[in-house]
Amino acid sequence: MASSKSEKVTSVKGMNDILPLDSARWEWLEAKVRDLMARYAYRNIRTPIVEQTALFVRGLGEVTDIVEKEMYSFEDRLNGEQLTLRPEATAGVVRAVAENSLLYDGGKRLYYMGPMFRHEKPQRGRYRQFHQIGAEALGFPGAEVDAELILLANALWRELGLQNVRLELNSLGQPAERQAHRAALIAYLEQHMDALDEEARRRLYSNPLRILDTKNPALQAIVNAAPKLIEFLGEESLSHFNAVKAILDANGVAWTLNPRLVRGMDYYNLTVFEFVTDQLGSQGTICGGGRYDYLMEQIGGKPAPAVGWALGVERVLELLKEQGRAEVNVAPDVYAVVPNAASLPRAIAVVEQLRELGVSVQIHASTDAAGSMGSMKSQFKRADASGASFALVFGEAELERDVVAVKSLRDGEGSQIEQPLAQIASWGSTLQSRPVH
């Protein structure tokens, strides 16, 4: 029997609302990113949230955690297509580049922002709907572009004022070199079979490289002594890696070699990197990426080199908050006080002119269905609570004289002057007090 009272509908676990105060921080971060991407000549690309499941199976690898356990996949009820909410954006960007032949006239530098979806246990910095900002450079084989992308990310931390973020580097070499290392790694781990946990045993023959990334404390000594991939790299791979490091050194970017750094997707080769912090607990990686020269071919496009990174927006914002660098002013410049509802048409006309001048204005609205505007005292209380720097008072006496009273709310004295409505263009812009991001 249906309940007489409707059951409250809530958000899906691990998929969060971003409320206005937090959203202002997101917009601030996104504005910083757009500005920086333009300076590095990266152009925006927007791909669908839903892609064919095969794109991720072929692109990320069948035995990755993402494909095996975390994807939101479903069958389209209309045509039976196997579809997936994107768990990451690189595969979709590569698909879009291949499908639209974007490399016909040379390499492309692209960036994106948007939501991704993985069915994980929600925790701080890890959600089922999460957001990434990423940069991808496609069609460029040189080590200088690997370094450029690292410099781009490093410049972003500088723009945001983030501190205590360290860069870890590794090289995965080329497929033949990885195969030789893989064989040596399996042989080594087989000698320690009794000490391996269930997850390591499951990965041993399907994806042994991922065992090196284990978080199990009991396995740390074993993986630390395991054969290192960098020892299997040939001359060309080492030369590429050394060129990346030389550019970083020349630009004063500190880095550390992490021979266990492998990343979570199968498509990487040569350079891989992560930017890591110790201030977010277990979710310490805020940005990661590397080179993926074979992904285009894996999804059916013409072979093309590529390199890129993605950062976790929630993690970056959490770190900004942790470091006291996430304060954003969302207050309007002006709060319009309107004592009488009959004055609203003229007051709104003035407010619209101010908005055209770039001034942010919040106008007082009626307090009940009858159109009552409330007392002046209550309106000034709301004006003060809004955080506005000024109150514009549209009193009857002022409007009869074609002026408006401008009262300062933040100078401690509450000084007030009158301004002529016929000359809004000359004084209106002086009310703009919001910082430009």
Over range 37-50, report the average pLDDT: 97
Phi-psi region of 125 (alpha: psi -120 to 50; beta: other; left: phi over 0): left
Give the lowest-confidence range in 62-71, 163-172, 184-193, 337-346.
62-71
Average pLDDT over residues 26-33: 94
Strand extents, DSSP E, 103-157: 108-117, 129-138
Closest residue by Cα to residue 263 from 206, 299, 309: 309
194-225, pLDDT tens digit by residue? 888 888 888 888 888 878 878 888 888 888 88
In sequence order, what DSSP letters do the residues of 90-104 get, joined into one string? HHHHHHHHHHTTGGG
Q: Which of 374, 364, 372 is nearest to 337 (CA)?
A: 364
Residue among 48, 57, 162 at smallest CA distance from 112: 48
Q: What is the DSSP string of 118-129?
A: -----BTTB-SE
**Between residues 411 and 222, which one has the greater pLDDT?**
222
Buried b (16+ CB within 10 A) or exposed e, 380-407: bebbeebebbbbbbbbeebbeeebbbbb
For the chain, which residues make up each domain, given as ranges?
A: 20-173+233-322, 334-431
pLDDT score recorded for residue 97: 96
For residue 21, the model assigns a pLDDT of: 84
Domain 20-173+233-322: CATH superfamily, name plus number: Bira Bifunctional Protein; Domain 2 (3.30.930.10)
Q: List, as own/partner pairs, every contact residues 69-74 make where C-beta atoms lie below 8 angstroms and the sequence separation is at least 24, other chains included.
A: 69/119, 70/118, 70/119, 70/120, 71/117, 71/118, 71/119, 72/117, 72/118, 72/119
Q: Taking a C-beta distance cutoff of 8 angstroms, is the pair 203, 210 a contact?
A: yes
Cα separation, 324 vs 264, whole angstroms:
31
Q: What is the DSSP letter of 285?
A: E
Topology (CATH level 3) of domain 334-431: Rossmann fold (3.40.50)
**What's the pTM?**
0.86
CA–CA dist 181, 254 (Å, integer): 28
Residue with tokens 């009858």, as numbered in its chain: 370
